[in-house]
Structure 1
Amino acid sequence: MRIERVRVADGEFALHVWAPRKRGPGILLVQEIFGVGDYMEAVAEDLVALGYVVAAPDMFWRIEPGWAVAHDEQALPKAMSMVSQFDWEKGPEDLEAALASLRGLPEVDGRAGVLGFCFGGTLAYQLAARAEVDAAVSFYGSGVPGALGMLESVRAPLQLHFGGSDPYISREDVAAVEQAVEGRENVEIHVQEDGGHAFHNRKAPMFYQPGPADRAWRLTEDFLARTLPPGT
């Protein structure tokens, strides 16, 4: 892993980069509320093994650069506080700048997608509506049900994941997303009915559920192989 710097009008932030040995497509990996830590690194390594160049921007740099904590109940209040301070106008602009930096890396063949979890799942969805991406994957983005009007602006293939037993995103809200994407050829949605929130986070014992996690990740791998195939 190496750190690149992304410059924007009012500062700069870190872009964590993991690259395979061969040149290939890029994936912008958008953190959940605990920062760019061991979970994001684990996901990045999974994607690198598939042949992707992965870049994870520090989305909390305007609040506290480099902030990352353990995925446990003690850290949850601080993590929620970080999200409450997040600038939802400048943050998506930062993400667009990070996407441009990713596309410009020497290891990247010009193609780039986005994959986000939780807080990052909402941002990944927003980025797909705001910018040109080749593919987008959003895991349990709590902001997605309230922003379904943005679907009209999403041109890239989009895959949405939710847990059917998520205490933070009601099943009724998930059903509204299912209804909104019905008939859209570029969008697919997968609901793990036994999945709670952050079920894929294998670094967080309080959230991780191996069954839903494995099923959703297989679907993600298949989606990326179809929409953003490495080595082409």
Structure 2
Amino acid sequence: MLIQNHQVDLETPTGIMRCYVYRPKEDAATADKKYPAILLYSEIFQQTSPIRRSAQIMAGHGFVVIVPEVFHELNPIGTVLGYDDAGRDKGNADKVAKYLEAHDTDTQAMIDYLQTLAYYSGKVGAMGFCLGGGLAYRAAINPAVSATSCFYATDIHSGLTPSQAGNDSRTRTKEIRGALQMIWGKQDPHIPPEGRAIVYKELVDANVNFSWHEVNGVHAFMRDEGDRYDAELQLWGYQTAIGFFRTNLY
């Protein structure tokens, strides 16, 4: 399936948010076809080359994919941070400077935008990696989101992404109504076994419809740059997520 892409700048309560939209390419046979959407949340580095490739892969399997600049109010439009010490320091500083409530309004802005697209089917899911896994989990609280796939989601157990009192993602787990898929690396130091156990208990206690996968991988095993990349796990990860979204969004 061939894909096409464009950019759109959406208004949010915290400023203009640049989003990158990927979708199946139209031709005479598919001009009237509608597709479900996936909100794809990046790592702290925003839309790097690996994140762009992730969006292209998902779009190539029949989804409209929107990648937001997750820290749009803290950086010039188009900012991409490097996978280096400076990039990590800036991304982690941005993470603690932006409250979850601002991510909530970002999510709603993308959902509202989808409603304007003639090729959108009306069903939306969320997906993310690292910080983005935690933001996808947060997006699952939105009642419009029918399915969410979270890869090695950080900060759910620790609450390091700030929020107003009583509004952290763990506290609001009970509001998740759609299907949820949680994927973790057993050797990931950012979400140790005790952290994963906290999240698991929250989901069970809240009676969320979820699946749980732990693989022998380190943090960021899906990222096809750097020495933590695991090609076999990446292929499995995409197949698992695509099957999940096809089941729940089509």
TM over 0.5: yes
- Assess if the C-alpha contact under 8 Å between 1:60 and 1:66 holds in 2: no
CA deviation profile, 1:57-82 (whole Å, cap 9, x unmatched): 11111000321133345532222222
How far the C-alpha of 1:87 sits from its partner, in A, is 3.0
Q: Give the equivalent residue in structure 2 for 1:208.
A: 229
CA deviation profile, 1:136-186 (whole Å, cap 9, x unmatched): 111111122244332210000111111111111111111232334348461
Q: CA RMSD in A?
A: 2.0
Q: Give the equivalent residue in structure 1 for 2:138.
A: 126
Range 106-115 or range 6-15, more displaced: 6-15
Pairing 1:61–2:83 present: no
Pairing 1:223–2:227 present: no
Q: Give the equivalent residue in structure 2 for 1:18.
A: 22
Range 51-60 or range 175-184, more displaced: 175-184
Aligned with 1:165: secondary structure?
coil
> Once superposed, which parts of structure 1, at least 4 consecutive aligned residues long, lie more than 6 Å away?
none
Aligned with 1:155: secondary structure?
coil
Whichever residue aligns with residue 99 of structure 2, its letter is D
The normalised TM-score by structure 1 is 0.89
Q: Give the equivalent residue in structure 2 for 1:98.
A: 110
Aligned with 2:104: secondary structure?
helix
Flag structure 2 segments of 5+ consecutive residues without an equivalent: 159-168
Cα distance in 2 for partners of 1:200, 1:96 equals: 27
CA deviation profile, 1:170-227 (whole Å, cap 9, x unmatched): 11111232334348461111111x211111111x313312233222222212211211
CA deviation profile, 1:18-42 (whole Å, cap 9, x unmatched): 1102431111111111111212210
Cα distance in 1 for partners of 2:128, 2:85 equals: 21
Identity of counterpart residues, as a percentage?
A: 26
Cα distance in 2 for partners of 1:177, 1:219 equals: 20
- Assess if the C-alpha contact under 8 Å between 2:82 and 2:88 holds in 1: no
Q: Give the equivalent residue in structure 1 for 2:155.
A: 143
How far the C-alpha of 1:17 sits from its partner, in A, is 0.6
Report the number of matched residues: 227
Cα distance in 1 for partners of 2:95, 2:139 equals: 17
The normalised TM-score by structure 2 is 0.83
Q: Give the equivalent residue in structure 1 for 2:191.
A: 169
- Cα 1:99–1:172 change in 2 (3 A) is same
Q: Give the equivalent residue in structure 2 for 1:199.
A: 221
Whichever residue aligns with residue 195 of structure 1, its letter is G
